[in-house]
Amino acid sequence: MKVLIVGSGGREHAIAWSVAKSDKVDKIYCAPGNAGIAEYAECVDIGAMEFEKLVTFAKDNAIDLTIIGMDDPLVGGVVDAFEAEGLRVFGPRKNAAIIEGSKAFSKDLMKKYHIPTAAYENFDNKEDALAYLETAKFPIVLKADGLALGKGVLICNTLEEAKEGVKTIMEEKKCGDAGNRMVIEEFMTGREVSVLAFCDGKTVQCMTSAQDHKRAKDGDQGLNTGGMGTFSPSPFYNDEVKAFCEEHIYQPTMDAMASEGRPFVGVLFTGLMITEDGPKVLEYNARFGDPEAQVVLPRMKNDIIDVMEACIDGCLSDIDLQFEDNAAVCVVLASDGYPVSYQKGFVIEGLDRFKGVDDYYCFHAGSKKTDKGIVTNGGRVLGVTAKGKDLKEARKKAYEATEWISFENKYMRHDIGKAIDEA
Ligand code: AMP
Ligand code: GLY
């Protein structure tokens, strides 16, 4: 079969790698893709938001299955555009992707269906938000309602900071229209865990757990980023936590979406905070996490095509989803200055070291093929991933492999997975 993957980051590289392992697949295309994805897929110069061009490409090239990796096209209705033309596509429709596209929607859903999450209020104007803050407890969390590339969440320690935050989001529109509405919620403390799950609209099957490191600098300092590294599984996601989440979070979320006439088909990403009062939902995403996918997919035993097709066909309960009994760590190599400003176009050396070695992967997040060779082309450049028998070994191997790569302005965190040592 022929598969089209939509996206261009490390997540889509990990998806392409996984799809390439399937015996069912003869040809992979990726729109727009990157220099690493080009190893498995023919990259096509169509942007992820160019729905008409994507649909036409899928029809003209008799694509059997399209996989949408990114949030923007999902929230914008790309799945509906494919389905309208009778094309098979993996991902939630627009009316279900809203679980990521609107934080106010997801908070109201959780409240209505008693799914544990931080206490909150939604606001659609600055005056009410500011008035609410006068009686609030601090720290407090402000969230722009819409998609904001991870920049829409502000943790404010004082009333003054929070007032500034409301102005930044709702008046200055720092996150654009994403800030037309906002959520103000209780600050939670605990361990964060990401759990990705395949969903067919009624059944939900969780993948192995992972943990991201969102801040730019060691020790969780610096600005929020798309993610500087991940490890899987999370030692904090033990059997008790898992059992609680299965009963009170994942299936109830699936049922809630179905009851609302918004059946969720695709990958549901639940960001959890394991608090003293038990696990609570921080956020939902409507797709694989990035870089979570880079540590979760290499550990998956199933053929990803079988699982995705079962989701589309509503028979996910027939799948026995299995993961290897090992661990993986991904360290993101970024361009120094990310997430604010950084230079691109530096030649990347050492990529060949990953060829033909088991358990080491170099997923490309922002790279481009040029006459000079493969060059850096983004804030996050590569996701260097290694598997090991346990987290400590995987972490050691991943950091060793980061030394195989060199490029000017190479930047990484040195404490990815360090929390493991404290577990
Ligand atoms: P989100 O995009 O909602 O996942 O938020 C980004 C990050 O902000 C999360 O990964 C958390 O580290 C932090 N965060 C979000 N909501 C809360 C909260 N209610 N309490 C504490 N930290 C939070
Ligand atoms: N790693 C967080 C995300 O994909 O949103």
In CATH, the architecture of 2-93 is 3-Layer(aba) Sandwich (3.40)
Q: Is the CB of 141 under 6 A from ligand 1?
A: yes
What lies within 8 Å, CB to CB, of 32 at 6+ separation is: 8, 43, 44, 45, 46, 47, 48
> How many DSSP H helices and E strands does the chain contain?
14, 22
Mutate to test the pocket of ligand 1, among 145, 269, 273, 281 (most ligand atoms within 8 A of CB): 273
What pLDDT score does 150 carry?
A: 74
CATH of domain 119-186: 3.30.1490.20
CA-to-CA dists, residue 169 to 128, 172, 337, angstroms: 14, 6, 23
Residue 135 CA, ligand 2 centroid: distance in Å: 32
Query: Where, residue-wise, is CATH 3.90.600.10 in the chain?
Result: 327-422
Residue of the nearest CA to atom 5 in ligand 1?
A: 153
Q: Calculate mean pLDDT across residues 130-152.
A: 93
Q: Is the CB of 71 under 6 A from ligand 2?
A: no
Q: What does the alpha-carbon distance between residue 174 and residue 153 come to, in Å, rounded to a whole number?
A: 11
CB atoms within 10 A of CB 144: 27
In the predicted model, is pLDDT for residue 419 greater than 90?
no
Predicted confidence (pLDDT) per residue in 174-208, tens digit = 999 999 999 999 999 999 999 999 999 999 999 99
Class at the top of the CATH hierarchy for domain 327-422: alpha beta
Predicted confidence (pLDDT) per residue in 239-277, tens digit = 999 999 999 999 999 999 999 999 999 999 999 999 999
Query: Where, residue-wise, is CATH 3.30.470.20 in the chain?
Result: 191-318
Give CATH superfamily name and number for 191-318.
ATP-grasp fold, B domain (3.30.470.20)
Residue 109 CA, ligand 1 centroid: distance in Å: 18
* Radius of gyration, CA atoms only, the chain: 21
Residue 406 CA, ligand 2 centroid: distance in Å: 25
Predicted confidence (pLDDT) per residue in 99-120, tens digit = 999 999 999 999 999 999 999 9
> What confidence category does residue 44 fall into, taking pLDDT thresholds of 50, 70 and 90?
very high
Residue 184 CA, ligand 1 centroid: distance in Å: 11
Residue 62 CA, ligand 2 centroid: distance in Å: 31
Query: Where, residue-wise, is CATH 3.30.1490.20 in the chain?
Result: 119-186
- Adjacent-strand bridge partners of 388: 327
Q: Is the CB of 290 under 6 A from ligand 2?
A: yes
Two structure tokens written together for 421: 């040592």
**Angle at the Cα of 147 (from 145 to 151), degrees rounded to 5?**
90
Predicted confidence (pLDDT) per residue in 152-170, tens digit = 899 999 999 999 999 999 9
Predicted confidence (pLDDT) per residue in 288-337, tens digit = 999 999 999 999 999 999 999 999 999 999 999 999 999 999 999 999 99
Looking from the CA of residue 288, the nearest atom of ligand 2 is: 4
CA-to-CA dists, residue 56 to 50, 68, 79, 148, 216, angstroms: 10, 16, 14, 29, 39
DSSP states along 5-63: EEE-SHHHHHHHHHHHT-TT-SEEEEEE--TTGGGTSEE----TT-HHHHHHHHHHTT-
Q: What does the alpha-carbon distance between residue 26 and residue 331 come to, in Å, rounded to a whole number?
A: 31
Residue of the nearest CA to atom 2 in ligand 2?
A: 289
